[in-house]
């Protein structure tokens, strides 16, 4: 009696290398797994119940022992039972699932922000401190990280199974996801939305590091200019300062402190200025004219890349006085400005 060597190798390889359950590497993972086990339990109980009924009745009432069927019309009581009990279980699942959804998609106020741009077929991560990565993402453990993501072309989806998080990355709008890694290590990043030829090549690795290692990594990997500094250069070179300079005679609204504030538009609409609003206002300015100003800003559609837009948004976030804007007037001295620390997001 011997198993063929190939099969034997196969079995040992399986036992050695194949997980049947993904690691729990983020704070939400145990919460997601709890619901998962509840649902697996529900499925097993349901399946067991159906099997017991089907096999039980089949044995008990098979033709050879029960040659004549007894006709039964139905039973309102029984039917009510198997309407109400599944309904109750499904409603519990609904509430539990909704709570988990909000846990996974509502970021804590103190999360650090990293931008991710998806394009066929790679992920570009941009840290505010000026670290750029392709198909890789370095994050500290024990600290909530929010990803603000956008696609440059088709739908993608950013998934880290070991963190139990995933979010569609859509052209033309920011979407966000957050997580807090709990274990140092490397984990898969997958694109899970079919995006063309090399869809299965749009993968990467997230490296979760201890805060000390992470600080070391940010020091060593920075490109030297932060996103905001890049944005400042772009702001100057595209001559945004011609109008958005904060002077009394300016033709455009002052941008100092605008991020996070509430604006009234010419059509009376009230908006909160966030990343998405700033991006839209740059690309489609005529739809977003601040009350009191003329619709004279040209569209920048097709003139700035998604990365450039992110830089501009980051720059505008840092503007807290018009003094900074005026400094930008005709300058390329922004290198002198101190690098900002990576990533604090305003609540």
- Give the span between the Cα atoms of 207 and 139, in whole angstroms: 6
Using only C-alpha atoms, the chain has a radius of gyration, in whole angstroms, of 28
CA atoms within 13 A on the CB side of 85: 9
Q: Which of 61-69, 229-237, 267-275, 288-296 is the region at the interface with other proteins (rule: CB under 8 A)?
A: 61-69
Identified binder of other proteins from the candidate list 3, 103, 108, 286, rule CB under 8 A: 103
CA distance 84 to 272: 44
Binding residues for other proteins restricted to 265-284, rule: CB under 8 A:
284
Binding part of the chain for other proteins, among 108-116, 151-159, 233-241, 257-265 by CB under 8 A, reads 151-159
**284 Cβ partners below 8 Å, 6+ apart?**
299, 301
Contact status: 157 vs other proteins (CB under 8 A): yes
d(CA 270, CA 322): 23
Question: Of residues 110-149, which lie at the interface with other proteins (CB under 8 A)?
Answer: 120
- Contacting residue, 3, 7, 99, 272, with other proteins by CB under 8 A: 99
Which single residue is written with the structure tokens 């089907």? 54
Question: Of 198, 216, 321, 335, which lies in the binding site for other proteins, with binding defined by CB under 8 A?
Answer: 198
Question: Residues touching other proteins: how many (CB under 8 A)?
Answer: 92
| 271, 277 contact by CB (below 8 A) | yes
Which of 10, 110, 261, 341 contacts other proteins by CB under 8 A?
A: 10
Q: Given the complex with other proteins, which of 118 and 342 has the nearer CB atom?
A: 118
Whether 38 and 110 have beta carbons less than 8 Å apart is answered as: no
- Is there binding between residue 4 and other proteins (CB under 8 A)? no
Site residues (CB under 8 A) for other proteins, limited to 296-315: 301-302
Read off the DSSP letter of residue 290: B
Q: Does 6 bind other proteins (CB under 8 A)?
A: no
Q: Which is nearer to other proteins, 97 or 142 (CB)?
A: 97
One of 2, 4, 5, 67 touching other proteins (CB under 8 A) = 67
Single residue of 165, 227, 236, 240 touching other proteins by CB under 8 A: 165
CA distance 97 to 34: 11
Residue 343 tokens, joined: 């990533």
C-beta contacts of 221-225 below 8 A and 24+ residues apart: 221/131, 221/133, 221/138, 222/129, 222/130, 222/131, 222/339, 223/130, 223/131, 223/132, 224/130, 225/130, 225/334, 225/335, 225/339
Per CB under 8 A, contacts with other proteins among 214-253 are none
Site for other proteins in 38-57 (CB under 8 A): 39, 42-43, 46-47, 50-51, 53-54, 57
Closest CA to 138 of 126, 148, 150: 126
- The SS3 assignment for 208 reads strand
From the list 35-43, 110-118, 219-227, 259-267, the region that binds other proteins by CB under 8 A is: 35-43
For position 199 contacting other proteins by CB under 8 A, the verdict is yes
By the rule CB under 8 A, 166 interacts with other proteins? yes
Minimal distance in Å, beta carbon 6 to other proteins?
A: 12
Q: How far is the CB of 339 from other proteins (least distance, A)?
A: 32
């Amino acid at each position: 009696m011997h198993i063929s060597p190939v099969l034997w190798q196969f079995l040992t390889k399986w036992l050695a290398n194949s997980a049947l359950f993904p690691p729990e590497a983020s704070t939400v993972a145990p919460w997601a797994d709890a619901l998962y086990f509840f649902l697996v339990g529900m499925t097993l109980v349901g399946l067991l119940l159906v099997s017991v009924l089907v096999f039980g009745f089949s044995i008990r009432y098979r033709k050879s022992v029960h040659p004549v069927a007894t006709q039964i019309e139905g039973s309102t009581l029984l039917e009510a039972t198997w309407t109400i009990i599944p309904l109750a279980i499904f409603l519990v699942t609904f509430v539990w699932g909704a709570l988990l959804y909000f846990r996974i998609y509502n970021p804590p106020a103190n999360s650090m922000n990293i931008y991710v741009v998806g394009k066929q077929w790679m992920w570009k991560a941009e840290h505010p401190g000026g670290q750029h990565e392709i198909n890789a993402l370095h994050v500290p453990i024990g600290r909530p990280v929010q990803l603000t993501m956008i696609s440059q072309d088709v739908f993608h989806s950013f998934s880290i199974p070991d963190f139990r998080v995933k979010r569609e990355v859509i052209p033309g709008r920011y979407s966000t996801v957050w997580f807090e890694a709990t274990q140092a290590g490397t984990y898969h990043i997958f694109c899970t939305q079919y995006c063309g030829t090399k869809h299965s090549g749009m993968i990467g690795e997230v490296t979760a590091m201890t805060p000390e290692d992470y600080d070391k990594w940010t020091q060593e990997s920075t490109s030297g200019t932060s996103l905001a500094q890049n944005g400042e250069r772009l702001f100057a070179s595209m001559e945004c300062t011609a109008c958005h300079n904060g002077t009394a005679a300016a033709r455009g609204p002052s941008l100092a402190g605008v991020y996070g504030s509430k604006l009234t538009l010419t059509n009376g609409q009230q908006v909160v200025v966030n990343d998405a609003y700033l991006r839209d206002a740059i690309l489609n300015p005529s739809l977003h004219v601040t009350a009191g100003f003329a619709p004279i800003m040209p569209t920048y559609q097709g003139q700035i890349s998604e990365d450039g837009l992110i830089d501009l948004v980051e720059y505008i976030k840092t503007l807290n006085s018009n003094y900074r804007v005026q400094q930008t007037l005709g300058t390329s001295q922004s290198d002198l400005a101190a690098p900002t620390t990576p990533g604090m997001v305003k609540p």
